A and B are shown apart, each in its own frame.
Chain A
Amino acid sequence: MHALDKWIKDNSISRKILASNLNISIASLSRYLSGDRIPKQEIMEKIISYTDGKINPTNFYIVKNNKNNNFSEYRKDHLLGIEDLKESEISSLLNRADDIIRENRIQPTVNQKYRGKTLVNLFFEDSTRTKTSFELAAKRLGIDVINMQIETSSIRKGESLLDTAMTLNAMQPDILVIRHSLSGTPHLLANKVNCGVINAGDGQHEHPTQALLDALAIRRRKKRIKGLKIAICGDIAHSRVARSNIKLLITMGATVNLIAPSTLMAEGLSDYGANIFNNFKEGLNEVDIVMILRLQKERMQGSYIPSAKEYFKFYGLDREKLSFAKSDALVMHPGPINRGVEIDSELADDINRTLILEQVELGVAIRMSVIEHLINNLEHKK
């Protein structure tokens, strides 16, 4: 069921009443609900305000059916990074996520297929959205979830990381989701355990599920990734999200512009084929998507940039800077947002220009897709 249909039902009105209130024909409304057409901006705005924001643009971007319905292209046991993924592997992960979104909307039931499987969330770094997103994804698949409390675990008692991993491994989980402040940690564990390992962010290295969900959001909105021009702006040097996104978007055929002050730009990224800019005007020219990265507080105090105020003036995204991009350019942010530092607060809330909340929603689907792939691949091996 389309989210708007559900809303109509929940609010005990009819399609007819809604159509007349929106000042559109029932036929048009039906086409929106079937996914044949996407509402124009002014109508979208009406729908959003009429439903108090319960319905947002995401709900209209339904990918109808994927021709490539088998998700067998991704055959790896782990998802450690985007680095070595092929286009077909990335597409497989995205396609399945699209299917999941469609299935979920039609029939939101808990999957029985994965009952009895276990996923361990091993988070050595604070995280709300990624951890809950994995937890929700697993639960929707009917998988048991264990959240490792790092503060109280033996790691604080001096047990080494590998010993902890081996102990967990002995409990035979199916999936180990790890986030760690040190680069390469998921790879280290993947070599030692028998289960599937998902990198939920390692140091300044990679954050593959974030890049996948960003790609999914872009593909659903723009119908493609290939040929798009995408700008990634902000703290490129310290961002694992940026690294994963650069690799993924270029692999999928997009043009990537990186915009950052020189102190926050990393060396060697042009090797991947990205274009380097240090001002918005040039970097945003003809851009379809603007991705804003989070700026860590400790970097705003003089070591990389003199102040948050100066950063916002030159590198914070506001409507004026956004006007350098295409008129229908969309804004993304992996969250959590520093309002008034990297993005103008009012712009961040503009549901017509930003995909920020949609990104969070799609994160669950992409993580379900990844978990399914890994479990199927491991089953297949047995």
Chain B
Amino acid sequence: MIEAKNKSKIVFKNARIIDPHSGFDDKAGLIVENKVIKDFGKHLLKNDNIDDALIIDCNNNILCPGFIDLSANIGEPGEEFKENVNTASDAALASGITSIVCMPNTNPIIDQIPIIQYIEKRAKETNGVKIYASASITKNLEGEKLTEMGLLLEAGAILFSEANQVIRNTKVMKQALTYAKNFDATIMISPQDPDLSLNGVMNGGALANKLGLPGIPKVAEILQIERDIRLLENTGGKLHFFNITTKEAIIAIENAKNKELNLTCSTAPHYFTLNETAVDEWKTFAKVFPPLRSEIDREAIYNALINNKIDIISSHHTPQDQDSKRLPFEQAEFGIIGFETLLPISLDLYFNGKMKLINLIDKLTYQPAKLLNLNSGKLKIGSPADLTLIDINTPHKLKLENMISKSKNSLFDDYNAKGKILYTIVDGRIVYSDPNMKLSVEKK
């Protein structure tokens, strides 16, 4: 239905347009033509006098660049029973996400060119969300031999990561940072010391002891961050830490940034919304890696986002089917789905944390685009028309059964949310529109 209405020209009028890149936040209009942004600004607020265009009256809702999700698991290849490119794409688009970076810990592992090509092919077939593959830093994620970084980049790899692992061998990590620098490639690490976190399943401390579960102490995160920062100082290059969860990590990263290292970091909504008590009595949906931390850490992450000490919010979408979660806590898989809760939960920073909306959207759009060297994530004439229209005022309840993701492992059932996606546009095509909304489309 939407496809039929797609035109090469779309006009948005009566919008509140937010573009963190240029700092624009005002009532305005926007024109999309031939897949790109043709023009936007105040002068287009009421403009609907354009021939042969689809005109969308935004009713003062927020029009901004589509979100770019820096870390997500999409089930392919290898775990199609948990998620596949189609379901991931549908879930992402319904969440205002127009680009995602998928993690390399698939089966087979993304460490060679054909796997990158396979993902590219599947994304093309799906014709929905833009999918960028990250490749592993080391072959087979073994932490020993570097992958063919240059060739992988040529094939389309967007960055290099070991997914939830780190590179244990300090020399190999040093080589990785040094070699990646040749290609100006980003190394992305979820920092947890592998020895201290071995067998751990939740935050180390009193609660883990009470539940009789092996813990991952917070010092595991700080140690790894400090080691890798020391290496970065030595080698130069681009390093990004994702899934930051502790207070001390933020301090260490801030200090390093002050030394003008090329270092950025990100976190995921569950780390600033939930603390370890969500584990309750062995609730496996609360088993995530890295683990949910103490209230002190949760609060520190929350404030670090408001104070701009964390650059990016990513979903770290990790679908797990029932059989992977209906197990004793220690045997259950790590992970929580994140696409459909990314915006509603992050908006808490705006409603209750007094964060400026434009700064919040920045962490979902321009900041990840900048890290990934993408041309999207901003409203610039000639940039790809990847957009989303958001109603941030109408309250609604998040419901597991309404989630589009193939797996429903979310802790946010019944969450009172705001932040409804009305439209999502990728390359100038309407790829999602809210099913409950009457398409307020005017045709000339």
- Listed in ascending order, the chain A residues whose CB lies under 8 Å from chain B are 83, 160-162, 180, 182-185, 187-188, 202-206, 237, 240, 243, 266-269, 271
**What residues of chain A lie closer than 8 Å to B211, measured between beta carbons?**
183-184, 205
Known: A205-B211, A268-B206. 12 other contacts (CB 8 A): A160-B327, A183-B282, A183-B328, A184-B212, A184-B282, A188-B282, A188-B327, A203-B213, A203-B330, A267-B205, A267-B206, A267-B209
* Interchain CB contact under 8 A, A184 and B329: yes
Main secondary structure of the interface of B (DSSP, over half): loop
Which residues on A sit within 8 Å (CB–CB) of B329?
182-184
Residue of A nearest to B329 (CB): A184
In the complex the two chains form, what is the Cα distance from A334 to B281 in whole Å? 26
How far is it, in angstroms, between the C-alpha of A264 and the C-alpha of B206 when the chains are bound?
A: 14
Q: Which residues on B are within 8 Å of A, measured CB to CB? A: 204-207, 209-214, 281-282, 323, 326-331
- Per the bound structure, the CA–CA distance linking A204 and B210 in Å amounts to 9
A to B CB contacts below 8 Å, 6 in the list: A162-B326, A183-B330, A267-B204, A268-B206, A269-B206, A269-B209
Q: Which residues of B contact A240 (CB under 8 A)?
A: 212
A204 to B329: give the CA distance in the assembly, Å: 13
Chain A residues with Cβ under 8 A from B323's Cβ? 160
A187–B211 Cα distance when bound, in Å, is 11
B389 to chain A, nearest CB (A): 42
Q: Decide: B209 and A184 in contact? CB cutoff 8 A.
A: no
| Residues of B with C-beta under 8 A to A204 | 212-214
Query: A187 to B330, alpha carbons, bound, how many Å?
Result: 13
Pair A160/B326 contact, Cβ less than 8 Å? yes
Chain B positions within 8 Å of A83 at CB level: 210
- A271 to B206, Cβ gap below 8 A? yes
Q: In angstroms, how far is the closest chain B Cβ from the Cβ of A381?
A: 22
Residue on B nearest A184 in the bound complex, by CB: B282
- Cα of A268 to Cα of B212 in the assembled complex, Å: 12
A266, B205: Cα distance in complex, Å: 8
Structural contact, B328 and A180, CB atoms closer than 8 A: yes
Tell me whether A268 and B205 are in contact (CB under 8 A). Answer: yes
Q: What's the Cα separation between A268 and B282 when bound, in Å?
A: 18
Q: How far is the CB of B205 from chain A (nearest CB, A)?
A: 6
CB-contact partner of A187 in B205, B206, B282, B331, under 8 A:
B282
B196 CB to closest chain A CB (Å) equals 13
Question: How far apart sit A93 and B213, CA to CA, in the bound complex (Å)?
Answer: 28
Q: Using CB atoms, name the residue of chain B closest to A83.
A: B210
Among A160, A180, A202, A266, the residue within 8 A (CB) of B209 is A266
Contact partner of A182 (CB less than 8 A), chosen from B207, B209, B330, is B330
How long is the Cα–Cα vector from A83 to B209 in the complex, in angstroms?
Answer: 12
Output the least CB separation between A320 and chain B (Å): 31
In angstroms, Cα B282 to Cα A202, docked, is 12
CB within 8 A of B207: which of A205, A206, A268?
Answer: A268
Chain B residue nearest to A182 in the complex (CB): B328
Task: Give the CA-CA distance A184 to B281 in the complex, in Å.
Answer: 7
The CB with the most chain A CB atoms within 10 A, among B205, B206, B207, B211, is that of: B211
Bound-complex Cα distance A228 to B92 (A): 61
Given that A187-B281, A267-B205 are known contacts, is A202 also in contact with B212, CB under 8 Å in the complex?
A: yes
Give Cα A54 to B176, complex, Å: 72
For A247, the closest partner residue in chain B by CB is B210
Q: Please, which residues of chain B bring their CB within 8 A of the CB of A205?
A: 211-213
Q: How far is the CA of A243 from the CA of B206 in the complex (A)?
A: 12
Whole-angstrom distance between the alpha carbons of A183 and B282 in the complex?
A: 8
> Which of A161, A205, A237 has most B Cβ within 10 Å?
A205
Given contacts A268-B206, A271-B206, contact A185 B328 (CB under 8 A): yes
In angstroms, how far is the closest chain B Cβ from the Cβ of A235? 13
Query: Contacts of B213 on A, CB cut-off 8 Å?
Result: 183-184, 203-205
Knowing A160-B327, A161-B328, A203-B330, the reply to whether A268 touches B210 (Cβ < 8 A) is yes
- Chain A residues with CB under 8 Å of B207's CB are 268
A182 partner residues in chain B, CB cutoff 8 A: 328-331
- CA A267 to CA B326, docked complex, whole Å: 28
Q: What residue in chain A is nearest B205 (Cβ atoms)? A: A267
Residues of B contacting A187 in the complex (Cβ-Cβ under 8 angstroms):
281-282
A169 CA to B317 CA in the complex, in Å?
A: 36
Residues of A within 8 A of B326 (CB): 160, 162
Contact of B327 among A161, A243, A268, A271 (CB under 8 A): A161
Output the least CB separation between A68 and chain B (Å): 30
Which residues from B are CB-within-8-Å of A268?
A: 205-207, 209-210
Chain B residue at minimal CB-CB distance from A204: B212
Complexed CA–CA distance, A204 and B211 (Å): 8
A243 to B329, CA, bound (A): 19
Q: How far is the CA of A256 from the CA of B213 in the complex (A)?
A: 23
CA distance A327 to B81 in the complex (A): 66
Q: Is the CB of A203 within 8 A of B212?
A: yes
Q: How far is B326's CA from A264's CA once the two chains are assembled, in angstroms?
A: 31
How distant is B276 from chain A, measured CB to nearest CB, in Å? 12
A203→B201 CA distance, assembly (Å): 13
- The complex places the Cα of A203 from the Cα of B327 at a distance, in Å, of 14
CA distance in complex: A202, B205 (Å)? 19
- Alpha-carbon separation in the docked complex, A160 to B330 (Å): 14
Contacts A184-B281, A267-B206 given; indicate if A243 touches B212 (C-beta within 8 A).
yes
Q: Provided the pairs A203-B212, A204-B212, A243-B212 are in contact, do residues A188 and B328 lie with their beta carbons within 8 angstroms?
A: yes
Measured CB to CB, the closest approach of chain A to B220, in angstroms, equals 15
In Å, the complex CA distance between A272 and B214 comes to 19
**Distance to closest chain B CB from A125 (angstroms):** 13
B332 smallest CB distance to A (angstroms): 10
